[in-house]
Amino acid sequence: MQIICSMIFLLVMIMISVSGFSDFEALLELKKGFQSDPFGKVLASWDAKALSTDRCPLNWYGVTCSSGVVTSIDLNGLGLLGNFSFPVIVGLRMLQNLSISNNQFAGTLSNIGSFKSLKYLDVSGNLFRGSLPSGILNLRNLEFVNLSGNNNLGGVIPSGFGSLEKLKYLDLQGNSFSGEVMSLFSQLNSVEYVDISRNNFSGSLDLGLAKSSFVSSIRYLNVSENSLVGELFSHDGIPFFDSLEVFDASSNRLSGSVPVFSFVVSLKILRLQDNQLSASLPPGLLQESSTILTELDLSLNQLEGPVGTITSSTLKKLNLSSNRLSGSLPLKVGHCAIIDLSNNKISGDLSRIQNWGDSIEIIRLSSNSLTGTLPGQTSQFLRLTSLEVANNSLQGVLPFILGTYPELKEIDLSHNQLNGVIPSNLFISAKLTELNLSNNNFSGSLPLQDASTAGNLSLTNIGLSHNSLGGVLSEELTRFHNLISLDLSYNNFEGNIPDGLPDSLKVFTVSANNLSGNVPENLRRFPDSAFHPGNALLNVPVSPETSKDKTDMTLRKHGYHMKSSVKAALIIGLVVGAALLALVCAMFHFTSRKQHDEEKSDVTGEKSIVQKTEPSSSNVIAAKNSVQENESSSSTTSTPSIKAKLPVSSSRFSQYSDSENSSPFLKEPTEELHSDSTKKDEALSSQVSSSTPSLPKIQNLPDNPRSRQTSMRLDGNLYIFDSSLKLTAEELSRAPAEAIGRSCHGTLYRAVLNPDSVLAVKWLREGTAKGKKEFAREIKKLGNINHPNLVSLQAYYWGPKEHEKLIISRYMDAPCLAFYLQEAGQLNLPPLLLENRLKITLDIASCLSYLHNGEAIPHGNLKSTNVLLKPPELTAHLTDYSLHRLITPEATSEQVLNAAALGYCLQSLPARVNRILL
């Protein structure tokens, strides 16, 4: 018997040896495509010498093998970078598990159909591109498929998914797949989990046409953020979902009324926000006997009528914000922990909330027409963490009990008619971090007398602007060591500003008061608008060092007062500039005529430079201009530069300003701005990269007389590419922000989430962004680009209005190349040595090679102000890459014509634009 077994084993080994690559050799070939292994687990352990007696990889990280046959590859979350070549491992015939999620693998899914034994396939969170091969339909043993978060995967899903009878889990979210949604669903069998969100699927959602096995087995169904239209379940009513627990169809264009879902007995989470649903709210969704819902989100629709009493004992989260709901507040809210009715037309007395029970944690009622006073006898809010009732018509005084709620972290009662003195216990509340009482009628002094004996003072944001507060600013104010934002503007404070306010302050303003004395040294970094107008006797000393460093980047950001001689020089400069402008116009006219002649010559047979599809030496236009000339081609020529004054909404508690859209990112600064050279403004802009889920959008409230004064939050959708970025639209709208530059694309902001998290937020000028679907498709590709020398996009925000488009990336505090080349002496920057210049050149070349050859995406705007040099190694980082893919051809033309940029041509631009930078 032993002899027979030995012969069989020998025969197997011979068959393996003559059949080409063995499994371990295939893995070694696959390893050759891996360029980076941050954790050092794969490249170090996948060693040809580390084999067992049966030729199985021995202690190879993530590899499971038996009898010389690899059955599992698990490389999830290792940050591996490189090409994952499926063709080189097609010989792994017994592979059952392939899990390589959350890496930076590139390539296509070709030959995926060769792994006939595969049961578990997870390639999510990578950089794969191309279409889904039809060969995947040959994998009859597949139970789990996750292709999510690759962004560049797209095309129509191949027909024939019905052959995958064992499939239980299908996740395609965050890609560019398209086609009729029911064409896919009608093929699925007993699938339990389906997520096709954040794609380009179209058509109506008529699950009555799906297979009965699919309808009865599906438990999780997410079709959000596609292009679905029509009514929900229009064919034959709501199917009898036996197992459906989560249904998300948000951010589409669904219309009609909201279904009652009476027969969906297992439904726990229902999200239909950001659609075009109308009619009244089905009362059955809020009643105890109808459903077992725990979360209901119908925000950002067009629902009308009253809310009604909520009797459900299971409902915990209710979001009906940004609709047209009217009537009074519900008398009871059952066991709801979170209730959001903001941005509606609800009226009546606020006192109804005293009957809302002790389960409530978050109350959001802002931007309605509520009246009355805050109830003073409501002691049951022991779990309340957030109270937001801004922009209503509340009156009376703040009850003392408000400061006794043990879990309260946030109070926003701004833009009401509250009066009296502010309760002192609000300032020493154990967990309160944000207090916004701006735009009311409060009087008296700041009640900080108890702060001297209190323990940890938790407040980080204090907004008391536009009240009638007065008296001297107490020294106790300096005990708030965690302060990030302090707005005391437009009051009647007098005396000195206390010395010792924390350096953690990111936003500070005391303008329009009667303060005097010297501004403390650590507050002199704030712009003049933080202290003036008002405060006629307040002195902002300027030390000799500060005077000497007026060209410092911080002073460039905030502006500075010019001496008379400088003003005279400016007048002379304006005259000269006007003459130069006339000359430029004449040159532009000449160039246009010349281009017209060139286009005629193209017709006769000459090759146009625009027709070239690949950048080459013949595409490059020789640049004889100096660096100054190149920098003067800044795209900022279409709008004034931002220097001294920030938008009113740059303060966390100034977001409710007299504009329709109050978030600092959703309105263009309107204050008078100090002018400076285009080059300086552009250099400031480039210090921050101009690059990058769903909350209620900002809508007009025509029946609310205060609706033009405020909106609660960023009310569109926030899409995050970088999983390390923990951010919501709510947090983004609350972040203290300051405008630091403009270009023809829009305005650039520096937003502070917390002292350790600072973002660069580019607001796109109205009319420049492409349509939503095309914009989303393009920015997904850009958000998926990662390179050590790129400041990558982290997220983007798409709001409901034309001007509400934001691109978000990390803030990089680094000088740009233009500073080193032109103003190194003035800014005390070290000179660029030859080795520095060589390194910078190689960094830029490496990045451009990756963009052009690896991603087939040109930078589109390469210049010295878009190259940041990170000290001390002076590593080059490119910003503002490929914005031309996000904006309309007209806006792109305007950018190029304004910039007169030199470089090579991009075929995607209009033919009349024949010059653009790399």
Q: CA-to-CA distance for 738 and 506, rounded, in angstroms?
A: 9
At residue 580, the pLDDT reads 57
At residue 101, the pLDDT reads 96
What are the tokens at 910?
A: 């209009």
Per-residue pLDDT reduced to its tens digit, 121-141: 999 999 999 999 999 999 999
What average pLDDT does range 95-119 have in this prediction? 94
Q: Is residue 809 predicted with pLDDT exceeding 70?
A: yes
* Per-chain mean pLDDT for the chain: 78
Classify 367 in phi/psi space as left (phi over 0), alpha (psi -120 to 50) or beta.
Answer: left
Backbone angles phi, psi at 548, to 5 degrees: -65, -30
Per-residue pLDDT reduced to its tens digit, 518-549: 999 999 999 999 999 999 999 988 644 444 44
pTM for the whole structure: 0.64
Q: Is residue 758 predicted with pLDDT exceeding 80?
A: yes
- How many residues in the chain? 918
Percent of the chain with pLDDT over 90: 46
At residue 451, the pLDDT reads 74
**Whether domain 607-899 has CATH 1.10.1740:** no
Cβ atoms of residues 784 and 765 within 8 Å: no
What are the tokens at 430?
A: 């154990």
Classify 732 in phi/psi space as left (phi over 0), alpha (psi -120 to 50) or beta.
Answer: alpha
What are the tokens at 620?
A: 């490059």
Question: Which secondary-structure segment (H or E) carries 544?
Answer: helix 544-548
What average pLDDT does range 365-374 have in this prediction? 95
What are the tokens at 557?
A: 């950001």
Domain boundaries along the sequence of the chain: 607-899
CA distances 379 to 316, 403, 587, 846, Å, are: 21, 11, 74, 63
Q: What is the DSSP string of 625-693?
A: S-HHHHHTT-GGGGS----S---GGGSGGG-S-SSS--STTSS---S------HHHHHHHHHTS-S---
| Listed range (403-417, 584-598, 792-806) with the worst mean pLDDT | 584-598
At residue 207, the pLDDT reads 72
Mapped onto helix, strand or coil, the DSSP state of residue 482 is coil
Q: CA-to-CA distance for 666 and 672, rounded, in angstroms?
A: 18
268 versus 613: the higher-pLDDT residue is 268
Q: What is the DSSP string of 107-144?
A: E--TTGGG-TT--EEE--SSEEEEE--GGGGG-TT--E
Work out the pLDDT band at 860, boundaries 50, 70, 90: confident
Q: Helix count (H) and strand count (E) of the chain?
A: 14, 49
What average pLDDT does range 450-474 have in this prediction? 88
How many CB atoms are closer than 10 A to CB 258?
21
Q: Is residue 466 predicted with pLDDT exceeding 90?
A: yes
What average pLDDT does range 775-779 have in this prediction? 83
What are the tokens at 132?
A: 């889904």
DSSP-derived secondary structure letter, 851: I
Percent of the chain with pLDDT over 70: 74
Q: CA-to-CA distance for 319 and 339, rounded, in angstroms?
A: 6
How many CB atoms are closer than 10 A to CB 353?
23
Backbone angles phi, psi at 809, to 5 degrees: -145, 175
662 versus 263: the higher-pLDDT residue is 263
Q: Is residue 646 predicted with pLDDT exceeding 80?
A: no
CA distances 202 to 177, 180, 222, 252, 450, Å, are: 10, 5, 14, 9, 61
34 has which bridge partners?
82
| Listed range (173-177, 335-339, 746-750) with the worst mean pLDDT | 746-750
